[in-house]
A and B are shown apart, each in its own frame.
Chain A
Amino acid sequence: MSAETHNPVDAADAADGGVTPFGPDNPAPFIEPPRARTKRTPRATRTNFEMYGWLFMRLSGIVLVVLVLGHLLIQLVLDGGVSKIGFAFVAGRWANPFWQLWDLAMLWLAMLHGANGLRTVINDYAERDVTRTWLKWLLYAATVFTVLLGTLVIFTFDPNIQ
């Protein structure tokens, strides 16, 4: 054993033995807790965005159970299943504002719920910063495009297009 070997007992002795420079007359410098707000912290460093996202996933999920399962029942089960679907069928459904509103709510809630879910998935797996940033912008672009297109289609639907 060389003399340089660090001996923890020595350090402990030093702490107890009054060799430390700090004491009631010479207090140690105050260190800010790492997350404390100080005068120099910018005002809006953190928001509750993730909490609202978490809450939105649950609230939209509950509503989507009714909207999506109802939609599937109408489209795939009742009245001949998929075989009845065609332009005339859609015209009949969108003649009724109730179903227009239903589809609109389903479009917005499912797209935002799915996009927020996919954002989580991208954050989990895309480890490189560039990849993650690009994937998320691609996701946001696709989401905005799809929501706007779907909304436009519901409101501008024309049963006499030809």
Chain B
Amino acid sequence: MPAGTLYRGREGMWSWVAHRVTGVLIFFFLFVHVLDTALVRVSPQDYDKVVATYKNPVVNLMEYGLVAAILFHALNGLRVIAVDFWSKGPKYQRQMLWSVVGIWVVLMAGAFYPVLQHSLHDLFGS
């Protein structure tokens, strides 16, 4: 722990932490993702073999997690932009944070079946 971490912010600090963690996570995913996509230049068989891992139910669940990270980062990023550029942004930053959380929950609930349907069918039959 670096020295002097006594600061305990409120929601704003946690949204900043979550924005940072999701941003770093997406970057590392993207790095691997460009590498796996590059296999289309090696051979169709190699590409299909690696992409098959994306269809494994456990990895499918991680994709749902990636969607969660991106949706939060995107919505909260728009909130940060509104705080910086909209004259009333700083005043409504808390209300906007709870709107971000609300929209995120709704979108995640809506994405559950579409993203995981093929695993659900594989695991529980159709």
Contact = CB atoms under 8 A, between A and B. Distances in A.
A81 interface: yes
Interface of A: 58, 61-62, 64-65, 68-69, 72, 76-77, 80-83, 85-88, 90, 107, 110-111, 114-115, 117-118, 121, 125, 127, 142, 146, 149-150, 152-153, 156-158, 161-162
Interface string B47-84: 11001001100001001000100110010011011001
A61 B78 contact: yes
A87 B40 contact: yes
A80 to B, nearest CB: 7
Interface of B: 2, 20, 23-24, 26-27, 30-31, 34-35, 37-38, 40-41, 43-44, 47-48, 51, 54-55, 60, 63, 67, 70-71, 74, 77-78, 80-81, 84-85, 111, 114-115, 117-118
A115 B117 contact: no
Given A86-B51, A90-B47, A150 B20 contact: no
Given A69-B70, A110-B30, A161 B44 contact: yes
A24 to B, nearest CB: 47
B2 A127 contact: yes
Given A61-B81, A114-B30, A153-B38, 6 more contacts: A65-B77, A69-B70, A81-B114, A87-B40, A110-B30, A117-B24
Nearest to A149: B38
Contacts of B111: 77
A153 B41 CA distance: 7
A142 B27 CA distance: 11
Given A76-B115, A81-B115, A62 B81 contact: yes
Majority SS at the chain A contact face: helix
A100 to B, nearest CB: 13
B67 A76 contact: yes
B63 A82 contact: yes
A161 B84 CA distance: 49
A150 B34 contact: yes
B67 A87 contact: no
